[in-house]
Homo-oligomer: A and B are copies of this chain.
Amino acid sequence: MPVPLTKESDVDVLIIGAGPAGLMCANALAKAGVDVRIIDQRPKKVAAGQADGIQPRTIEVFQSYGLADRLLREGNQMHMGAFYNPSIDGGIECTKRVPVVNVPSARYPFMVTLHQGAIEAIFLDSMTSLGIQVERPVVPTSIELSQDDAVLKDPSMHAVKVVLKHLDVPEGKPDTEIVHAKFVVGADGAHSWVRKSFGIAMEGEQTDYIWGALDIIPETDFSDIRSLCVIHSNNGSCLVIPREGDIVRLYIQLAETDAVDVQTGRVDKNNMGPERLLEVARKSFHPYSISTLHDVQWWTMYIIGQRVASRFSVNERVFIAGDACHTHSPKGGQGMNASMNDSHNLAWKLAHVLRGWSDISLLQTYEFERRKFAQDLIDFDKKWSGLLSGKSRTELPQDGVMHQEFVEAFQATSLFKTGLGIHYLPSAVVHTQHQAYASNLIIGQRMLPHVFVRVADARPYEIQDLLPADTRFKIIVFTGDARDKSQLDRVTKLAADLEQPKAFLNRFSKGNIASVFDILCISAAKKGSLKYTDLPALLRSHWSKALMDDMDMYGRAGGGGYEKYGIDSRGVIVVVRPDGYVGMVAPFEELEDIASYFASFMHVA
């Protein structure tokens, strides 16, 4: 028998749950050098099935952590969507083809599909290289938040007490541990123990749409099997999601009679099985045939619930993220994306507060930004699920008008679905007053991708690759055309102003500018007409920091960035948050407004 209670320890952040939300959080914090632990009750990571769709914005986020290469190498890419509708002869026919992603600013104009275990492995390997492992199987048995206001307000205090039980402990060793954490992140799924422990309600309702999901390696004469297909047939609806290798995920609409136990009114997996699911799908595919080459890889069935947690945080000390905060249909390909973007939003804020840079109130913006997103997600999901499901298999959209409406909805929701439209509203970290100076860099949205050229060596760079998720604020100075003498004077004066001890750079970094801020400059000048040494030294701490808005030596990429961003020719300063979102914009003359921005959440030395 394990020995009861002995161990007691401190940690800055304890993450409960090692799914996509927990792992994104743990990796981001480990990368930031934060003292973090992550536990999970499962003895092993997910092996198959589960979530599998990675949206374009999430690929950008992976890239910001240096993890996109592997994702792109291992995953399948979905570029083409095909809509199938009933044909006159009783079968189905393709009525429309569209790009899966309908957003011109997409850096990655496709979705990646890859099973959840492979995505988790990307984080796990990255964390291993940073010296962090998931501790498993470990379950939390109690959680307690300090009632002392002074403790709660001081982020250096270990305000949360969590008791953990290690399930896999050798004979004679203690299996219980008391952890005192400064912060706890509950990324423990739809049935979140953390959420329930604090009595946080899930608001919303259950639908009566019942769906099954099935991963197979298909044998079929349906030639669109490698496209994202939405099949509306007179025999039911079906979604085709091609995946890594030859795997295909099918989402299959079920009738109540297929899936619900008439006694209890609940979904009953015993009534269903992979073969029966495939049998239902087969009816939608008619006249095409489909079967599975090997055993079914994974399957499930579910009723869609559409709910959002009433709070995402308890006193900015305990947070919930991912499925713990929001549940919805998996068929919009949103779940994993929403979850990982929750903790991407939270992680840098935790790091800033733990380092003493930012006030603990910064953490309020997590719920503010992500709960709004979750509500939008449920609104999207209601529309999307409704269009996909109809009321029953016999009342599906079949006529031209309804089909047209469906295609339009698919296209119109692309900005939301892809995550590229995520828009955080004004808050301590989003100040919108000078939007007009960079009219197309929407404050609160992600920094738009674009290729600029390095002044020193004319190498083209995607600007997003120069904005890594390294917890620093990026100060991008668009210098205008610094060949113009009066403009160069303005830029020189700006640099001098920025260098003042009382200017925001020094004020909010205690003089160690590079630890908090990464400064880039982008000139409107063309290749060969500007030397990087012409620019004030503050704006190019290294030769690699000076860029130009011009094409590369081959004319293959770059150019037109000022116009695309709507940058004022007199230049502008763009503040990009550590998570890649535009936090504010200001003309050279309004440095005090930038100072006010940082003062609204950061401490002055």
Q: A-side interface residues toward B, CB under 8 Å?
A: 69, 76-80, 97-101, 106, 109-110, 221, 223-227, 242, 454, 456-460, 527-528, 531-534, 543, 552-554, 556
Q: How far is the CA of A106 from the CA of B552 in the complex (A)?
A: 14
- Nearest Cβ distance between residue A3 and chain B, in whole angstroms? 43
Q: How far is the CA of A457 from the CA of B457 in the complex (A)?
A: 38
Q: A101-B554, A224-B456, A225-B456 are in contact. List 7 more A-B contacts (CB 8 A).
A: A77-B459, A100-B553, A109-B553, A109-B556, A223-B532, A223-B534, A226-B456
- Nearest Cβ distance between residue A542 and chain B, in whole angstroms? 8
Assess the A533–B221 pair: CB atoms within 8 A: yes
Give every chain B residue within 8 A of A78 (Cβ-Cβ).
457
Assess the B69–A543 pair: CB atoms within 8 A: no
- Nearest Cβ distance between residue A594 and chain B, in whole angstroms? 29
* Contact A533 to B109, CB < 8 A, known contacts A77-B459, A80-B553, A528-B97: no
- Nearest Cβ distance between residue A462 and chain B, in whole angstroms? 13
Assess the A99–B223 pair: CB atoms within 8 A: no
Assess the B79–A227 pair: CB atoms within 8 A: no
Give every chain B residue within 8 A of A226 (Cβ-Cβ).
454, 456-457, 543
This chain: how many copies in the complex? 2
Q: How far is the CA of A99 from the CA of B110 in the complex (A)?
A: 32
Give every chain B residue within 8 A of A460 (Cβ-Cβ).
79
Q: How far is the CA of A130 from the CA of B566 in the complex (A)?
A: 52
Assess the A99–B554 pair: CB atoms within 8 A: yes
Assess the A457–B227 pair: CB atoms within 8 A: yes
Give every chain B residue within 8 A of A77 (Cβ-Cβ).
457, 459
Q: How far is the CA of A379 from the CA of B515 in the complex (A)?
A: 53
- Nearest Cβ distance between residue A376 and chain B, in whole angstroms? 25
**Chain B minimum-CB-distance residue to A228:** B457
- Nearest Cβ distance between residue A86 and chain B, in whole angstroms? 20
Assess the B80–A457 pair: CB atoms within 8 A: yes
Residue in A77, A225, A457 whose Cβ sees the most chain B Cβ within 10 Å: A457
- Nearest Cβ distance between residue A105 and chain B, in whole angstroms? 11
- Nearest Cβ distance between residue A381 and chain B, in whole angstroms? 25
Give every chain B residue within 8 A of A223 (Cβ-Cβ).
456, 531-534
Assess the B242–A109 pair: CB atoms within 8 A: no
5 contacts between A and B (CB under 8 A): A79-B458, A80-B458, A99-B553, A101-B554, A226-B454
Q: How far is the CA of A383 from the CA of B457 in the complex (A)?
A: 27
Q: How far is the CA of A543 from the CA of B552 in the complex (A)?
A: 36
Give every chain B residue within 8 A of A98 (Cβ-Cβ).
553
* Contact A553 to B458, CB < 8 A, known contacts A97-B527, A221-B533, A528-B97: no
Assess the B109–A79 pair: CB atoms within 8 A: no
Q: How far is the CA of A221 from the CA of B109 in the complex (A)?
A: 42
Q: How far is the CA of A535 from the CA of B224 in the complex (A)?
A: 14
Give every chain B residue within 8 A of A552 (Cβ-Cβ).
79, 109
Assess the A458–B533 pair: CB atoms within 8 A: no
* Contact A227 to B458, CB < 8 A, known contacts A221-B533, A527-B97: yes
- Nearest Cβ distance between residue A521 and chain B, in whole angstroms? 15
Give every chain B residue within 8 A of A556 (Cβ-Cβ).
109
Assess the B79–A110 pair: CB atoms within 8 A: no
Q: How far is the CA of A388 from the CA of B249 in the complex (A)?
A: 62
